[in-house]
């Protein structure tokens, strides 16, 4: 059997030219794909973090996991949820050592 090369069976139809691309469509597609992929990865991380959270949030979860009845729960009120600590007293900057006359009597005298 004679060996036939592939080039002998092909006939050229003409010259092939690749048109240069400006990259705007490709860049837009890459940016859109990146945004979609970023959102999907973010949602996946949120789901995984919620799924792996070991904290007990509800009374039924605590009863099921611990096997004992829950005796008390904290009320879920906005006042407790957004409670803020009182502001600390303002600090005084010590720029120089106080004179003995500025000190209270209990601090200025040593016995």
Per-residue pLDDT of the chain (111 residues; tens, 9 = 90+): 455 565 667 777 888 787 777 778 888 899 999 999 999 999 999 999 988 887 777 888 888 888 899 888 877 776 666 666 677 777 776 666 666 666 666 654 554
pLDDT at 38: 97
Q: What is the pTM of this model?
A: 0.40
Q: Which residues contact 65 (CB under 8 A, 6 or more apart)?
A: 56
Token readout for 45 is 């991380």
Residues 58 and 73: their CA atoms lie apart, in Å, by 9
Which helix (H) or strand (E) covers residue 105, if one does?
helix 105-108
Q: How far is CA 56 from the centre of its chain?
A: 21
pLDDT at 47: 94
Q: Tokens 């003995």 correspond to what residue?
A: 100
How is residue 10 written in tokens?
């092909």
So what's the pLDDT on residue 1? 46
């Amino acid at each position: 059997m004679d060996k036939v090369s592939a080039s002998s069976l092909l006939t050229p139809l003409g010259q092939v030219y690749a048109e240069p691309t400006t990259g705007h469509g490709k860049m837009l597609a890459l940016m859109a794909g990146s945004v979609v992929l970023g959102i999907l990865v973010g949602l996946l991380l949120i789901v995984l973090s919620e799924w792996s959270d070991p904290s007990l949030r509800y009374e039924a979860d605590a009863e099921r996991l611990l096997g004992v009845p829950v005796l008390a729960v904290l009320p879920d009120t906005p006042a407790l949820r957004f409670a803020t600590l009182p502001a600390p007293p303002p600090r005084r900057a010590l720029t120089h050592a106080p004179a003995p006359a500025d000190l209270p009597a209990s601090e200025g005298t040593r016995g």
